[in-house]
Structure 1
């Protein structure tokens, strides 16, 4: 896709939180988008962003953003697109208010993911689902991205589903601390420990995957008939969700065929040359020690996934390990790619 003549003004809702901060970090220098508004809770309103935010990203706050004044999360911001990093406790009505007022809301929150007319979008996986927004009654639109643990899983499954058909999947996650936000899990709970429960995570993985891998027919998504079981654990890693996956297919599949399908997988974002589209989408490692969060979470600028240890499974057909960057691919970066696809497909007008 050709470079835009003028950058598109965008706002960030929940700008002081962990996802909001990641939006700011990733959007700095973006070739299409320029941050023109920051929204946050009442305690931050009226303050310069650098005074309102407890910044904990690895890069410094971009100077221009640091000196912006924080606004209320109300639909009078100087932009048409807003990225929502709002907590689910407040996101629902705020996002709807913006959509009603004509804004395009690109949401990382769970509130609207399962709404029939809202795309639960991973552009490399189900770009055609974006057309669901044409049925929305809002003056604007709402587009969502899935839970961070769901994202890495569906990116590994989609190429296999297209080629061999998926029958059953069992996934056990080892999820990074950053997925819990800030301040997140207490150090006394996680040091020298693992926590075998993340509230609502297993249910989200099990239902979101079926919608994402579902087929768009007559303006509705027919959920996948895949049988999926998820077990989710919090582990003492900062960034990078690791998942151990076992699965069975509807058609016979050889190991070398599976690896080839992963390595060759490309989709609409890669064809369009979207700025945040990784290419390759999937890295496969033959070394049995890989992937590892510290070594591989930043591949493709954090937007690609890494897979390794494909081998026979004594219960199902095969098993493997997949790694994804939860705050980039699984949150802010995935939402930015959603916005890029929306613009590329002509759904944004000045």
Structure 2
């Protein structure tokens, strides 16, 4: 790519925003030019706004330290400075839905890490190796939003990426029933051991909302586009238990599957 795309990170001071910034350091396609966060961080340099809350194992990239944090609510101003944004805002679901649509309506593509739009019928939730054809629904979404260029795409719950790709690879054997137990790292809660010492040598056998996401979101990945909307698949039926474990990064799943057609070795 001759010219790198100008990227903005919404919710840049939080843990997920920090992860975006660390992953984008020296990226051949993208350059972080804008960081936006809550009004209380706005006006300060990124380094000042984050302060001692930098949670990544790597150092804060030099290229972002002196960027002035913009107010994420000043949508037009932020959007004017970028080609697209990654969204990691920490708000209520309704607030996230509203602000991500507001950015899209300015003609800015929004790639979101949040769950708020995962079930919006014309917003694709994509794992590229599984359902890239869902990107086709973006044209219908643009019509609804009244935009030529802006749109929203989202990623699924991180823990389902430990088993949904494997089940996709086994589709020919017709899996119809799945029992999964996920062992989810504390980074999924936006935590490190430093700020969550209670998790050392501990497990939490229930994570609110995670079981429903883990059971339903794979069905949306395997769904089909009908009349400008993504309609989820009906099978397999998934039952899931989600456990928080004392691991910093990396989710694990133990999965039992019933197939209509017996797989060969």
Q: TM-score, normalised by structure 1?
A: 0.69
- CA deviations 1:151-189 (Å, max 9, x no partner) are 22212211111x21221111001110111013687422x
Alignment deviations for residues 33-90 of structure 1 (CA, whole Å, 9 cap, x no partner): 1111000011110111011112121111111111100001132220120000112524
User: In the TM superposition, what whole-angstrom CA distance separates every residue of 1:221-247 from its partner, at most 9, and x where no partner exists?
Assistant: 332221010100001010010100000
- Which residue is equivalent to 1:87? 90
Match of 1:204 in 2: 213
Q: Determine the C-alpha separation between the residues in 1 that align with 2:175 and 2:201.
A: 37
Mapping of residues 6-155 of structure 1, within 5 Å:
6-53=3-50, 54-73=53-72, 74-75=74-75, 76-77=77-78, 78-89=81-92, 90-136=95-141, 137-138=144-145, 139=147, 140-155=150-165
The answer (yes or no) to whether the contact 1:117–1:220 under 8 Å persists in 2 is yes
Residue 157 of structure 1 pairs with residue 160 of structure 2: no
- The DSSP-based 3-state class of the residue aligned with 1:170 is strand
Segments of structure 2 that go 5 or more residues without pairing to the other structure are none
Structure 1 distance, partners of 2:8, 2:48, is 18
CA distance in 2, matches of 1:119, 1:180: 24
Aligned 8 A contact 1:195 1:233 in 2: yes
- Gap regions ≥5 residues in structure 1: 257-350
CA drift at 1:198: 0.6
- 8 Å CA contact 2:84–2:109 kept in 1: the answer is yes
Structure 2 CA distance, aligned partners of 1:59 and 1:187?
A: 21
CA contact (8 A) 2:88 2:112 kept: yes
Provide the aligned C-alpha RMSD in A.
1.5
- Could you tell me how far apart the structure 2 residues matched to 1:246 and 1:20 are? 34
Would the aligned equivalents of 2:124 and 2:230 in 1 still touch at CA under 8 Å?
Answer: no
Using the TM superposition, give the Cα deviation of residue 197 of structure 1 relative to its aligned residue in structure 2, in angstroms. Answer: 0.8
Q: CA deviation at 1:93?
A: 1.7
Contact 2:192 2:248 in 1 (8 A): no
Q: Offset of 1:10 from its aligned partner?
A: 0.9
Q: Aligned pairs, how many?
A: 250
Contact 1:177/1:238 (<8 A) preserved? yes
